[in-house]
Structure formats: structure tokens, C-alpha cells
Amino acid sequence: MSSAASKPRPKREHVTVELAGKEVRISSPNKVFFSKRGETKLDLINYYVSVKEPLLKTMGGRPTLMQRFPDGASGKNFFQKRVPKGAPQWLQETTVTTPNGTTSNAMVAADIAHIAWAVNLGCLGFHPWPFLAELPEVADELRIDLDPSPGVGFDEIRVAAFDTKALLDELEIRSYVKTSGSRGLHIYVRLEPLWTSYGVRAAAVALARELERRHPKRITAAWWKEERGKRVFVDFNQNAPHKTVFGAWSVRARVGAQVSAPIPWEEVETVDLDALTIATVLERLKTDGDPWADINEHPQTIEPLLDMSDNDMANGLMDAPWPPVYPKMPNEPPRVAPSRAKAKTEPHE
């Protein structure tokens, strides 16, 4: 009598899809990834195939950080920079380097087959770098992340978004807006290929500081949370070298499959964040078109913001603090929270 271990095991369910001239094997296509409506892994792939044109317009050719949810939106997750072993030969990779010199072979979002391959690994959405794989030394996006502090609601985010647009309009810098897929908004500016990430971050710092000067009661550039109060934080460090931001048209790890959706500026005032899902975004795209359709046709300059940065330095301002994983930067203030710095300098009784 044979043991149970020797009995033939049933083959795992899978399908093979042909995309961009490549065959992509999808295991467990009927695994539920989003529990609210029951959308599956294959449903998610079909969504990305349906939005491939606007999706690749924003992230095509860029290295992409993978965040994997093997059991769907409700399960555990982990980030993976490096392409795992066993990837198909056609998969395009590129080397990304941290400011500390650590390198990784990251996937390039070369076409829709690459997206489907990553979804098969459990990637729900994508975190692209702000540069093209073929030009890694140049950052071609300014990414403005409006971050709600505790006590700040989406109404305050809306107002801060319009404040930001008004400043950029004044500087004749064209901007585009999308939902974060969660509680905030992201504002993007496609740039002329002239600046490194260090330059783009300097522009973001200047933008945040100018917004705080103009709207001190509702916007802050304070890196330390204890200094922000109930104000919208303009997270300039999302533009630091090697930082990624959740991509346009990407799907969040939420049970309702909410999308980080590009929207027209006039919709910021009325948008319902939770209503933008893979079940609704496709219909919007069909009826209203892509709000970012021309983003690549109008690369912008950040020289006005860099002039602001130069003025801030000339007036004695130091650089804004960097995240703790980065090397100490020139002209950077001490990396210690103000309350801790104060406690160290106060005399002990």
C-alpha cells in the first residue's frame, strides 16, 4: 500500500495570457485579492490590461519597487527591490543605487507583460522611481505628497492642493493631480530632463517652505511631527534620491480595490476617494478620457523653485532634514527632534 506522500499531487490551477508578444503564466488566477466585491488576481490583471495606455504613459520604462501581497489586500506584505530568481528571460531589469551605494536589480515597467508578471507575484500596485531606466541620473518628475497630519481631514487636503496649484500656476509650472488611493492627494510635475534628484528635492523643499509662509495656519514644511500641529505636511523628502511614490493607476491594498487615480483639477473639490476603484475607474476612463493624457507633452522647468531655494539659503536657512537612512548632507541641520535637542541643552537641577 502506497503512502499518502507517494500519491500524485494535483497540478496547481494556472492560466497563460499573451501580452505584448510574451506569454505570462498566472498561477491561482481565481484567488481573491480584494474581499469587498471578490475581485481576483485575474480581475486585477484584466484591470491593468484595460488601463495599459495611461498606465505606461506614467510609469513605462521606469524601475519599479514591488510590494507583494501573496494572499491579497488583507494579507501580509513585503517590499522587494530585487527581481527574484526564476524570472523569465524577457523581463527587463536595471540597477538602482541608494545614496549609500547599495545596488539592486529592479524590474523595469517595460510593457504590460511586465505588469502582469509582477501581479502574479502578488503586486497589487506599483512604486516607480522618478527616472527612466535609460537615464538614471536624471529625475524627470517633481512629486508633491500632501500628507494629512493627525486631526487633518481630506477637506484640508483639498484646500492645500489648490494652494499648491495656485503657487505653481503663478510660477508658470503646469501640474497634474491624482488621488493617493488612500487618504491624500499627489501632485505631479513632469520635468525637462535637466536635474538630479538632489535638485528636484531642493525645489520641493522650497515649494513646501513658500507654501508654509503663505498659509502658515494650514500648511507646514516641518519635518518633525511634533512641530506640524493640525496642518497639511508637504512631504518634500518623497523627492529624495532613491525614493518612490505610489504610481498613477495603481491599486491599493484595500479590500475595496481603490485606485490611485488621476483626476481633473476641477474634480478635487468633489472627489470621493473610496469610490475610485477598479470597478469604476475603467468606466470613467472610457467616458471622460485620461486626465493626464498630455503630461509627457509639456515638460516643465523648476528654475523658479530653485531660485526660491537659493534665496532661502542666502537668507540663512539651512537645508531641511533628510530621512535617517541617508548620509549626512551638507548644510543639513542636526537630525534630532527639537524637543530632544532642547532637553539636551537645558540645565539639570
- What digits encode the pLDDT tens for the residues 241-299? 999 999 999 999 999 999 999 999 999 999 999 999 999 999 999 999 999 999 999 99
pLDDT score recorded for residue 10:
45
What does the pLDDT look like over 64-90, one tens digit per residue? 999 999 999 999 999 999 999 999 999
Please indicate, yes or no, if residue 198 is contained in any of the structural domains.
yes
pTM value?
A: 0.92
Give first-to-last CA distance, the chain, whole Å: 83
- In a domain? residue 281: no
Helix axes 281-288, 41-50, angle to 10 degrees: 10
Same domain, residue pair 112 and 55: yes
Asked if the structure places residue 349 within a domain, the reply is no
Q: Are residues 99 and 30 in the same domain?
A: yes
Residues 122 and 155 in one domain: no
Same domain for 193 and 105: no
| Residues of the domain holding 315 | 141-244+298-324
Measured CA to CA, the distance from residue 251 to residue 73 in angstroms comes to: 10
**254 falls within a domain:** no
Claim to verify: residue 201 and residue 303 sit in the same structural domain? yes
In this structure, the answer to whether residues 184 and 91 fall within a common structural domain is no
* Domain final position from 131, 153, 169: 131
Domain count across the chain: 2
145 with 112, same domain: the answer is no
Do residue 107 and residue 171 come from a single domain?
no
Q: CATH number of the domain at 106, please.
A: 3.90.920.10
Residue 345: pLDDT band (50, 70, 90) is low
